Amino acid sequence: MKKEEVPQDKGNLSNKNMKELVYAIDEKGNYTTALSTGWEPKTIALSNSIEEISERVAIAKAQVESNKVSPIVYFMEYSRMDIAILSSYVGMWQWRVKRHFKPKVFAKLSDKILQKYAETFNISIAELRNFKTN
Amino acid sequence: METNFTHHQSAHCENGVASNLLKHNGLNISEPMVFGIGSGLFFVYLPFLKVNYAPAISYRPLPGLIFNKLAKRLGLKIKRQKFSNETNAVKALDENLKNNIPSGLQVGVYNLTYFPDEYRFHFNAHNLVVYGKTETDYLISDPVMENVTTLTHEELRKVRFAKGAFAPKGQIYYPIQIPEKVDLKSAIIKGIKNTCRDMLAPMPIIGVRGMRLVARQIRKWPVKHGTKKANHYLAQMVRMQEEIGTGGGGFRFIYAAFLEEASVILENEKLKELSKEMTAIGDLWRDFAVEASRIYKNRSSKEDVYNTIADQLLAISSKEEVFFKKLKLAIR
């Protein structure tokens, strides 16, 4: 990559006024560094992942509303976690976390256990219990 | 309290922290040098490990390995500490700052508040330097940022004790001993040899063979998983290759910069030639990213596009195989 070819596209970094450092060659063919505001192929790749997450969150939301899964699933997706990450945050086995996904099991959970989830998701127990669609 | 630490922006966090900490301790070493001597160039495909619901593809070795190899090859001593107790972790860091020791930290990205929201994933192998503390904040030098920044005490606690794969466990590290004279020449040769060995390894998931395996898988993805998932996998691969930290082209440009620097130190003209070749290969990786982004942008459902991109990856793997064989000969 030549220095004058270092992409300066708009993207997720430029929105926050950030620039990243890349390595490129100058006119004499020697290596130097340059700052880049972003690159379109990358921005598209990232947007793809973000969309993927939004979809997962939307599906989870619908499933909680129709009482197919517990609110834990929604907040897990919302926090960009999967079962492995969630189980390591709350310090419980994955099978236990999976069990808590069932609305019936969730309804009987003690405050002590709910507290662990609430802390992980950075919300209160009340917010976890009384799931609101917004 | 504040240590007199100088922040330099770098492409990759781990090299950047290593280079900045060593510069602070009087050893002037560039980011590409750290990367090359520490054998940072790598390729591994781990289909059984899922990251963000896609098979893991990494262009770098395990976190911490680059700095450790660099230290071994230059005869430096690095102290690393992990903690099971959060209070002790805070104490150890504060103690260091009191003693005027800026410290490298492994952290999770998800709670780094100064990152754009889109970049906050549960990725735990990020590195930064803490160089001071105020009543409310820690002073942070994050090498991928242009300028220094801050995190509150609570925010730093959260990122140090992020959970999940590669949980940092509050890890701090800093050089405790640097020899007066370092033997760059032999360290460079060891680093290059190691990289050639990795990239040419007779293992199906590593190096050029790993790339070939991925190329074969890409052809199967749309049939096996449907285009939606296939596109998601491709997007993840491009992110690992190009996202903040690789310096572009899956670290190939940083490596080319290293070879250029190495050619001067070793007085080896061949390395300068090979540096140019690596740049050309890096450009091919960029083309691969462009082509991949076209696929998941248009959401084209033809099977052919996946074959085209797989061919592209195959061509790169052949080029790299030839390249690393030449590199191996060049330093004999």
Decide if A44 is inside a domain.
no
With respect to residue A45, please indicate whether it lies within any of the assigned structural domains: no
**Contact between chains at B253 and A1 (C-beta distance less than 8 A):** yes
Query: Strand B137-141 relative to strand B149-152: parallel, antiparallel, unpaired?
Result: antiparallel
* Inter-chain touch A31–B256, beta carbons under 8 Å: yes
Chain A partners within 8 Å of B229 (Cβ): none
Q: Report, at the CATH architecture level, how domain B184-330 is classified.
A: Up-down Bundle (1.20)
Instruction: Identify from B163, B295, B298 which residue to disrupt to test chain A contact, counting A C-beta atoms within 10 A and taking the largest count.
Output: B163
Inside any domain, residue A46: no
Q: Which helix (H) or strand (E) covers residue B212, if one does?
A: helix B207-242
Is A65 found in the same domain as A8? no
Chain B residues with beta carbon closer than 8 angstroms to that of A50: 118
Task: Find which of A23, A39, A52, A55 to mutate to test the B interface (most B CBs within 10 Å of its CB).
Answer: A23
> How many Å lie between the alpha carbon of B98 and the closest alpha carbon of chain A?
31
> Which residues of chain B have a CB within 8 Å of the CB of A25?
279
The total number of structural domains in chain A stands at 2
Q: Is residue A47 part of a domain?
A: no
Report the CATH number that the domain containing residue A74 is assigned in CATH: 1.10.260
Q: Are residues A12 and A74 in the same domain?
A: no
Q: What percent of chain B has pLDDT over 90?
A: 81
Claim to verify: residue A22 and residue A57 sit in the same structural domain = no
pLDDT at residue B274, rounded to an integer: 97
- The answer to whether residue A18 sits within a structural domain is yes
Helix A40-65 crosses helix A71-78 at what angle (to 10 degrees)? 170
* Chain A residues touching residue B293 (CB < 8 angstroms): 40-42, 44-45
Residue A88 touches chain B, beta carbons under 8 Å: yes
> Is it true that B13-37+77-177 and B184-330 share their CATH fold?
no
Decide if A18 and B165 are in contact by the 8 Å CB cutoff. Answer: no
Average pLDDT score, chain A = 92
pTM of this structure: 0.93
Sign of CA dihedral A66, A68, A72, A75: negative
Provide the domain limits for residue A112.
53-129
Let me know whether A62 and A121 are in one domain. Answer: yes
Beta-strand relationship, B126-133 and B149-152: unpaired
pLDDT at B255: 96
Q: Is A41 on the interface with B (CB under 8 A)?
A: yes
For residues B180 and B216, give the distance between their C-alpha atoms in angstroms, rounded to a whole number: 50
Tokens of B140: 């942070």
DSSP class of residue A8 equals B
Do A33 and A58 share a domain, yes or no? Answer: no
**CB < 8 Å from B in window 91-130 of A:** none
* B330 phi/psi in degrees, rounded to 5: -65, -25
- Can you list the residues of chain B whose pLDDT is less than 70? 244, 299-303
- For A39-96, what is each residue's pLDDT tens digit? 999 888 888 888 989 999 999 999 999 999 999 999 999 999 999 999 999 999 999 9
How near does any CA of chain B get to the CA of A30, in Å?
8
With a CB cutoff of 8 Å and minimum separation 6, the contacts of B224 are: none
Q: Give the long-range contacts of residues A84-87, CB within 8 A, separation 24 or more.
A: A84/B164, A84/B165, A85/B122, A85/B163, A85/B164, A85/B165, A86/A120
d(CA A106, CA A130): 12
In a domain, A16, yes or no: yes
Measured between beta carbons, which residues in chain B are less than 8 angstroms from residue A19?
Answer: 146
Tell me the backbone φ, ψ of residue B64, rounded to 5 degrees. Answer: 95, -25
pLDDT digits (tens, 9 = 90+) for B256-314: 999 999 999 999 999 999 999 999 999 999 999 999 998 887 766 566 889 999 999 99
Residue B207: its pLDDT value, please?
Answer: 96
- As a whole number, the mean pLDDT across chain B is 93
If asked whether residues A63 and A88 sit together in one domain, one would say yes
Q: Of A33, A45, A52, which is closest to B238 when you measure between CB atoms? A: A45
- Other beta carbons within 10 Å of B123: 19
User: What chain A residue is nearest to B147 in terms of C-alpha separation?
Assistant: A18
Give B-chain residues touching A78 at CB under 8 angstroms: none
Looking at the structure, do residues A21 and A59 belong to the same domain, yes or no? no
Percentage of residues in chain A having pLDDT higher than 90: 76
A-B interface: how many C-beta pairs under 8 angstroms? 116
Same domain, A60 and A32: no
User: Residue ranges per domain, chain B?
Assistant: 13-37+77-177, 184-330
Architecture of the structural domain at B13-37+77-177: Alpha-Beta Complex (3.90)
Q: Is residue A70 part of a domain?
A: yes
Give the distance from residue B248's alpha carbon to the nearest chain A alpha carbon, in angstroms.
6
The answer on A121 and A65 residing in a single domain is yes
* CA gap B56, B81 in Å, rounded: 27
- Name which of B231, B232, B260 is nearest A31 (Cβ-Cβ): B260
pLDDT for the residue B59: 92
Q: Are residues A61 and A104 in the same domain?
A: yes
Same domain, A119 and A60: yes
What dihedral do alpha carbons B287, B292, B297, B303 form, nearest 10°? 130
Inter-chain CB proximity B296 and A82 less than 8 Å: no
